[in-house]
Amino acid sequence: MSRRRAHLPTRPTWRCAACGIAWPCSPAKLRLLAEYRTDRSALLIHLAALQAEAGEQLATLDHAATPADLTVRFTAWARPR
């Protein structure tokens, strides 16, 4: 069993459990792109739901990000080029 932590979000701060940076971190993005490689629309729907959850939780911590910031963080990187 590996002792390495998965690159998953910690709620309500939305930091990566493994590397501590804002989630989704680069390893998480790569994992998500691989997991949803045949269905980019499903990935974007999944990320949009997480973005909404993060926005609500971060607002309660007085760490409210602007909607534009959250869009860049959660969905802009996953759009097809």
Whole-number pLDDT of residue 27: 98
**The Cα angle at residue 69 between residues 32 and 26, in degrees rounded to 5:** 30
Query: Using CA atoms, how far apart are residues 57 and 37, in angstroms rounded to an integer?
Result: 28
Predicted confidence (pLDDT) per residue in 15-62, tens digit: 999 999 999 999 999 999 999 999 999 999 999 999 999 999 999 988
Q: Contact at 8 Å (CB) between 21 and 66?
A: no
